[in-house]
Chains A and B, each alone.
Chain A
Amino acid sequence: MPALSDDKPATPGLTKDERDYVNRVAEHYRDTDRMAWEHGFLIGWLMISDPVEQPASRLCEVLGVSREAVDHIDKLLVPPGVLERTELPDGEYSLAMNAEVWPQTVQQAMLALPSFHSVMRYGLEALADASEERRRRLVNMEQFFRYLGDEIPAVFDRYEPPATTVSP
């Protein structure tokens, strides 16, 4: 949930174009996930930062975000592997976006959607003797998730990842 004092950060270290891009990413996550501005700005910047790896204190400086916001993004995106965390010798840490893991994470989240189909099937069994009117919500959703279960994996079957663009 965005806090009440949720404002767009000042981004003192970004060019006008960089800010424009990062702002668009934050707007997207605001629309889809109601993400706080600072969090959206951090994700957008970690997509285009130079260098890729950014110490937490540097992120605060360049974007003008709070340390809490950086810690939040660290907790949110390091476990799924979208961001890589490196401990620095001074007790600080840095974050770097992993360009290969993010597409895999999107794919997993989308493929998990049809897995909801089995939960709906279970619901229809649980309500086997209930009235048609009561069962109708589940009948519709079972149909919908069964359809997604066939279609979404096919979307990824048709996807060809790009050839590696940068040699290690």
Chain B
Amino acid sequence: MTEQADQPPPAASLTEKERAFVHKVAEHYRRIDNMAWNTGYVFGYMMICDPAEQRVSQIVEALGVTAGDVDHAAKLLATPGVFEKHEEPGGDDYRLVLPEHNWPKAVRHSLVHMPKFHQVLQRGLEVLDGASEERRERLVRLEHLYSHLATEVPAVFDRFEKAAE
């Protein structure tokens, strides 16, 4: 959830162009996922930082965000496999990196859930077997859409991967 007082961080050590890019990334995720500014800035920064691998303390310093913000972004994006987290031995610091091929894989991961969701909707229609049309209409419409997406969307990714080979 974003707070009312949520503001973009200063990101004072970035060049004007870098900051403009990171801001656009954060803006995009704010619009789509209601992502907090600081989280979006960490995400955008990990796409262009130099070197690619950064300690938490470096990210905090570059962007003017808190270590808690970096932890939050790391949790959010390490689970789907976008970021990789490398623990530093003997300390509570760690390094983050966004490996170049991970993101398409992660987007795929979230979208290939569609066939599974389609199966869930089919189960719903079974449960409502014999119920009134009015009650079934919500599921009928969703099942119709997801039966299309369940075939089409994985095929989109298969073609992308074949083309990339």
A residues with CB within 8 A of B? 17-18, 20-21, 24-25, 28, 31-32, 34, 47-52, 97, 99-100, 102-103, 106, 109, 112-113, 115-116, 119, 122-123, 125-127, 130-131, 133-134, 136-138, 140-141, 144, 147-148, 151-152, 155, 158-159, 161-162, 165-166
A137 to B96, CA, bound (A): 14
Are A136's CB and B140's CB within 8 A? no
Q: What are 16 A-B pairs at a CB distance below 8 A?
A: A25-B120, A49-B135, A51-B134, A52-B138, A97-B138, A116-B28, A123-B25, A123-B48, A127-B18, A137-B48, A138-B47, A147-B163, A155-B153, A162-B144, A165-B141, A166-B137
Q: With CB as the reference atom, state the residue of chain A lying closest to B132.
A: A50
Q: A134 and B50 in contact (CB under 8 A), knowing A48-B138, A119-B24, A162-B141?
A: yes
Contacts of A115 in B (CB 8 A): 28
Which residues, 96 to 138 on B, are CB-close (under 8 Å) to A?
98, 100-101, 103-104, 107, 110, 113, 116-117, 120, 123-124, 126-128, 131-138
Q: B residues within 8 A CB of A158? A: 148, 152
Complex Cα distance, B138 from A21, in Å, reads: 14
Give, as a whole number of angstroms, the nearest-CB distance from B73 to chain A: 13
Contacts A123-B25, A125-B17 given; 8 further ones with Cβ under 8 A? Answer: A24-B123, A102-B138, A103-B142, A122-B24, A127-B21, A137-B100, A138-B47, A148-B156
Kindly list chain A residues whose C-beta atoms are within 8 Å of the C-beta of B100: 136-137, 140
CB distance from A14 to the nearest CB of B (A): 10
* Interface contact B135-A106, CB-CB below 8 Å: no
State whether A137 and B52 are in contact (beta carbons under 8 Å apart), knowing that A18-B127, A123-B47, A159-B148 are contacts in the complex: yes
A99: B residues at CB distance < 8 A = 137-138, 140-142
Which residue from chain B places its CB closest to the CB of A23 in the assembled complex?
Answer: B120
- In the complex, how many residues of chain B place their beta carbon closer than 8 angstroms to a beta carbon of chain A? 52
| Contact partners of B124 in chain A: CB under 8 A | 21, 25, 47-48
Given contacts A21-B123, A140-B101, A155-B149, contact A100 B141 (CB under 8 A): yes
Is B21's CB under 8 angstroms from A122's CB? yes
CA distance A6 to B82 in the complex (A): 26
B:20-50 near A, CB below 8 Å: 20-21, 24-25, 28, 31-32, 47-48, 50
Any chain A CB within 8 A of the CB of B139? yes
Q: What are the 5 tightest A-B residue pairs by CB atom distance, in nearest-first order?
A: A126-B17, A99-B138, A17-B127, A103-B145, A144-B104
B136: nearest residue on chain A (CB-CB)? A165
CB neighbours of A133 from chain B (8 A): 52
Bound Cα distance from A166 to B18, whole angstroms: 53
**Residues in chain B near residue A122, CB distance under 8 A:** 20-21, 24
| Whole-angstrom CA separation of A147 from B107 in the bound complex | 13
Q: Kindly list chain A residues whose C-beta atoms are within 8 Å of the C-beta of B103.
A: 140-141, 144
Partner of A112, one of B32, B52, B101: B32
